[in-house]
Structure 1
Amino acid sequence: MAEEDMTTSGSARDTGKMPEREESEDGTPSPMPIPTPNPNGMVTMAAADLIALCERLISARAPPPPPPPPNPIPEEDPNMLAREYQKEAQASLNTKSVTTFDGTNYQTWKMAFLSDAEVIGGANILNKNQQEPPEGLSSLDQRYWVIRSKLLFRRMLQSLVGSVRLTMGSIQPDNAAALWNK
């Protein structure tokens, strides 16, 4: 009769099943009784209870997570900086009128053009015949130098009357210093 009670009672001990877990009103799971072995000697528990037990054990052993790092200041993208610099330099040149060189006003044209070069920081490209960026510049400053040289080259070409351009012969593309010395 004692055996009959154990098999028909429906307890966790007889069936190897644990009672359903109940949650409190605030949503926290209620503690479960310690699982006990069934008649075959196996310990059984619901998968959700096993996962919850594992999570509690892991969180009890794990150190607290480190605080989140402060928001780092994103490094500027060199390509974006170069594009912005080119826009600003072009806008600076666009505020000045272009003095056209027609073959008779060389001194006036030269002074006006050196003034234009000074506005964008490119006077040394012309005065020192810099056909390449000077050594020791950062990669970003080298990009800025190339931008200044190209802007000066294009502006110089715009300022030359067609007949003057024809007398120059071949022109090295985007090289302001080479064009300046022709």
Structure 2
Amino acid sequence: MQGRIGLLLAAKASEEDLKCADQIVYTMEAIERGHLPDEMCLVELGEAFNVEDPIQCQRVVRHLLDVVSKGSIGRAVLGMRQLFDPRSGVLAPDSDVLELHPRLVQALHGAQQEKANEWSVLAAPGQIKPGDFLSFTVGGKPLCVKAKDVLFAGTDREEVIYRRRRNQYFITAMVVAGTSSHKGVLVRSGAAGGAQ
């Protein structure tokens, strides 16, 4: 069975699985440094670990068995293996740090550009910036213009000027309330490019 990333589908690691993996790593690193993990110390924190002490070794094995009984380290490791597999196309193959594959970065950038190209209904003050595109009808005539200036931006007094010489503008609060002569005002980010 092939997954969406071209690998076998595997169960996603749960929070318990990740805690299990964390605890095993924490335990093994503590032992490697020569002491027991804090939760295993009977005498004092930082109790020394002696690999030649069979009682301590037995306690460590019991502790690890207790940890693995609460989650699946296998699911956590398998999930990471699939994530790191170059065929997954999720992570940048030549990077020493965890970063997205360049194709995913490009796709996300494209999605952001597409979102910037979308028209949205004017719903509140603060939504329009100078240079944004506006589409509406006024006096029954459809217009598509750029916002030249926004006065009192983000307040109930916000005024959007779209033709300075003719002093043509609308008050956002009146558009939202439906009392403006400007009807059906739509906004599109000016950062998206030229008007369509």
TM range (shorter): under 0.3
* Structure in which a larger fraction of residues adopt helix: 1
TM-score by length of 2: 0.22
* Structure in which a larger fraction of residues adopt strand: 2
Which protein shows a greater Rg? 1
TM-score by length of 1: 0.23
